[in-house]
Chains A and B, each alone.
Chain A
Amino acid sequence: MTSRDLIKVEKLVKYFPIYSRGVLFKKEVGLVHAVDKITFSIRRNETFGLVGESGCGKTTTARLILNLVEPTSGKVFFEEENVFDKFQSANRKEKLELRRKMQLVFQNPYGSLDPRMTVFDIISEPFVIHKHVAKSQWKENVYKLLELVGLEEYHAERYPHEFSGGQRQRICIARALAVEPQFLVADEPVSSLDVSIRAQILNLLGELQESIGLTYLYISHDLSSVRQISHRVAVMYLGEIVELADTDELFKEPLHPYTEALIRAVPIPDPKAKSMKIVLPGEVPSPINPPPGCRFHPRCPRAKLLCKEEKPGLFEVNPNHLVACHP
């Protein structure tokens, strides 16, 4: 039996300690509240968008799900299996098996490809590690992957520096797909690309989802691209999810004042669009000492006394629409 959810995240917490330079021992002087008790689930075959400004914990969330950093507390389930436990206890073979199911595409395609390896080496490296493809099949598989991401066979013999940013990102996607994953985390995959190239990569991700049935966690600060590609969206602020809803509903009727401000802050490419902007005062506070109560209250145009004192829970206000804001 397979459930609807591929990934389940339960009360996930990650605090990074800050140390001062002590005389003999490091002294812990504070904690960065990078991710603070977030709960959500990602359904099979959907694109789950995660938006927020820099430092709100988007990338840390992704790294926690992939178990690239250890959580302070909380659980992540992949197909009902506890990811953290599995990586703690399982033998190498089982670990690799789980790794094969989830992959990551990074933001910067310039930094995430080894300049000394040819494209063939880069894409076939997963075969070396996971040994799921016979050596005689490597070439065929690499060519198939290149075709899948819209590159040509002759590209296999080239080095990363011979490619443009968009093509490099295609190589990164091909490498991630080499292990036939079910789940792909795309961490700002188009932010470092030119406008005309972004559409290519966004469309490619959409096509791949249809043809091989991938599930995505799409992380971005660019709301327009999130709207374009995601089925459901979660908005993060200072390590917490403040709103979670179906994409169209979220963008049409944002319920959290932060979501609303975030959406209105994006200039729309239409000179006639009425600007009904709410300019938020101030900046995102430090996650070392997050404000008490609702973390958004110092910047919130609708803040009440209650907001300063009590932290709002994330509740379902409309069907499938969760908001953390005092009514």
Chain B
Amino acid sequence: MAETILNMEGLKTYFFTEAGIVKAVDDISFHLKKGESLGLVGESGSGKTVTALSVLRIVPKPGRTVDGKVEFNGDDLLKKTEQEMRRLRGSEIAIIFQDPSSSLNPVYNIEIQLRDVIMAHQKLDQKMSKAKARERVVELLETVEIPDAETRMREYPHQFSGGMKQRVAIARALALKPKLLFADEPTTNLDVTIQAQVLDLLNDLKKKFGMSLVMITHDMGIIAKMTARVVVLYAGRVCEIAKTYDLFERPRHPYTEALLAAVPRLDMRKTLRVIPGNIPNLIEPPSGCRFHPRCQYATQVCEKGIPVLEETEPGHFVACHEWQNIRLKGEKVNIDQ
């Protein structure tokens, strides 16, 4: 059994806005093993990104993590001082954001931005020279397969295409060989053929550096391709945790099932099942199970009691009152072409 690198228990991150308290992440628990690829799936407002930001403790104001435990290699990150966190960010835990054009600084060239990351984390007694840092930047850009790295690193972000910018962002995240990488919708803004390139690159680098990866996305295709285990989030809570295979074949939560049935597929034409209604408002989320107003299997129990995660089979957890009484259909998998 591999060691656990990240263990999250009862994480609650709320945003204290004028309109009320937005419970963006409300009691989320899951863990991640060393070298594992975990998917965080959910729609907008489900708390995927805020979960990642909470781990790095960079939740923007007026948000605050109010409760919970986030253990990274056994240490609770929420108890660390800001200075200790600064040392961890980048060198141990890194993140790639969705939009590379806004996460890179437009007024510095690529070399300076990457060099800064490398030099900022050097201990004083072994301060790296600029020339040496530059070598490392070239090396990094070559790892992310940017051609002609030595000349291109003197260019500015606007001179790069979307896919290339995302490669630079990946290079920056990997500069200090972190143990854990969050990729927050890294390919949403990219074209399909470029998306394929970037996903391949991420997979290769993960193997090469032996990182653990948390892939945040709403695209079930990316989940199927990139991850071994999945956490399904809905309105700030965990619905289901399962191995990727099991989740697609035997979803236990009505939301997971509906989500799978609502996505059009390239390899076949199917009747799309509609999930009625809209994503709930998180200031006053629905009582009981948050999915109950949109759930076709909902009963009176669902309106009142908050469901807890139950283990349906080894490694497969679901938070649903009715899971034993309903039979859900998974996606038709295993099509031989």
23 contacts between A and B (CB under 8 A): A53-B193, A53-B194, A194-B44, A195-B263, A196-B262, A196-B275, A198-B264, A227-B266, A228-B264, A265-B195, A267-B225, A268-B266, A268-B267, A270-B331, A270-B333, A270-B334, A271-B225, A271-B245, A272-B245, A272-B333, A273-B224, A274-B337, A283-B163
A195 partner residues in chain B, CB cutoff 8 A: 43, 218-220, 259, 262-263
B269 pairs with A269, CB closer than 8 A: no
Q: Tell me if B212 is interfacial: C-beta within 8 Å of chain A.
A: no
- B224 A269 Cβ-Cβ under 8 A: yes
A268 to B263: give the CA distance in the assembly, Å: 10
- Residue A54, interface by CB 8 Å: yes
Within 8 A of B (CB), among A239-278: 247-248, 251, 261-275, 277
A224 contact set on B, CB distance < 8 A: 221, 263-266
Query: In the complex, A257 Cα to B260 Cα: how many Å?
Result: 30
Q: Is residue A164 contacting chain B, with contact meaning CB distance below 8 A?
A: yes
Contact A262 B272 (CB under 8 A): no
Question: What 1/0 flags go to B93-134 for Cβ under 8 Å of A?
Answer: 000000000000000000000000000000000000000000
Q: Among B263, B266, B270, B337, which residue has its beta carbon within 8 angstroms of that of A223?
A: B266
Partner of A164, one of B219, B270, B279: B279
Is the beta-carbon distance between A53 and B192 smaller than 8 angstroms?
A: yes
Contact segment of B62-70, B196-204, B307-315:
B196-204
Is A197 interfacial (CB 8 A cutoff)? yes
B191 lies within 8 A of chain A by Cβ? yes
Is B72 interfacial (CB-CB < 8 Å)? no
Q: Does B248 contact A (CB under 8 A)?
A: yes
Question: 9 smallest A-B Cβ distances: which pairs?
Answer: A267-B221, A269-B220, A228-B264, A265-B196, A199-B262, A53-B191, A199-B272, A196-B275, A267-B225
Q: Report which B residues bind A (CB closer than 8 A).
A: 43-44, 161, 163-164, 191-197, 199-200, 218-226, 244-245, 248, 258-260, 262-267, 269-270, 272-275, 278-279, 331, 333-335, 337
B192 CB contacts on chain A under 8 angstroms: 53, 221, 223, 262, 265-266
Q: Which residue of A lies closest to B224 (CB)?
A: A271
Q: A167-B278, A271-B245, A273-B224 are in contact. Are A265 and B193 (CB under 8 A)?
A: yes
- B191 & A277 in contact (Cβ 8 Å cutoff): no
Query: Using an 8 Å CB-CB cutoff, how does the interface string of A214-238 with B read, 1 for contact, 0 for none?
Result: 0000000101110110000000000
B-chain residues with CB within 8 Å of residue A248 when the two chains form the complex: 269
- A277: B residues at CB distance < 8 A: 196, 200
Kindly list chain B residues whose C-beta atoms are within 8 Å of the C-beta of A31: none
Cross-chain contact of B221 among A198, A269, A284 (Cβ < 8 A) = A269
For B226, what are the chain A residues with a Cβ–Cβ distance below 8 Å?
A: 267
Contact A268 B221 (CB under 8 A): yes
B264 touches A225 (CB 8 A): yes
In the complex, the answer to whether B272 meets A202 with C-beta atoms within 8 Å is: yes
- Chain B: CB-nearest residue to A229: B264
Flag if B258 contacts A227 (CB, 8 Å): no
B330 to chain A, nearest CB (A): 10
B175 to chain A, nearest CB (A): 24
- List residues of chain A with CB within 8 A of the CB of B272: 199, 202-203, 228
Chain B positions within 8 Å of A279 at CB level: 193, 196-197, 200
- Contact (Cβ within 8 A) B258 A196: yes
- Specify which of B196, B259, B279, B334 lies most central, judged by the most chain A CB atoms within 10 Å of its CB: B196
Residues of chain B within 8 A of A273, CB atoms compared: 224, 267, 333, 335
> Quick check: is A212 within 8 A (CB to CB) of the other chain?
no
- Chain B residues contacting A221 (CB-CB under 8 Å) are 191-192
Which residues of B have CB within 8 Å of A200? Answer: 274-275
Q: How far is the CB of A245 from chain B (nearest CB, A)?
A: 15
Give the distance to chain A from B118, nearest Cβ to Cβ, in Å: 27
Cβ-closest chain B residue relative to A163: B278
CB of A205, distance to nearest CB on chain B (Å): 11
- Central interface residue in B221, B226, B272, by most chain A CB within 10 Å: B272
CB-CB under 8 A from B248, the residues of chain A are: 269-271
How many angstroms from the CA of A280 to the CA of B269 in the assembled complex? 26
Once bound together, how far apart are the Cα atoms of A295 and B3, in whole Å?
51
**Beta-carbon contact of B274 and A270 below 8 Å:** no
For the complex formed, measure the closest distance between the CB of A302 and the CB atoms of chain B, giving whole angstroms.
16
Expressed in whole angstroms, the Cα–Cα distance for A198 and B163 within the complex equals: 25
Residues of chain B with a CB closer than 8 A to A164's CB: 278-279
Q: Is A166 an interface residue (CB 8 A)?
A: yes
Bound: A263/B266 CA distance, A: 8
Which of B193, B194, B275, B337 is most buried by chain A, counting CB atoms within 10 A of its CB? B193
| Shortest Cβ distance from residue A217 to the other chain B in the assembled complex, whole angstroms | 18
Do B218 and A194 have beta carbons less than 8 Å apart? Answer: yes
Chain A residues, Cβ within 8 Å of B259: 195-196
Distance in angstroms from A197 CB to nearest chain B CB is: 7
Is B265 a contact of A269 with CB atoms below 8 Å? yes
Residues of B within 8 A of A272 (CB): 245, 333-334
- CB pair B266–A283 under 8 Å, yes or no, is no
Distance (whole angstroms) from the CB of A249 to the closest CB of chain B? 13
Closest to A201 in B: B274
Say whether B191 contacts A271, CB under 8 Å: no
- Taking a contact as CB atoms under 8 Å apart, the answer to whether A198 and B265 are in contact is no
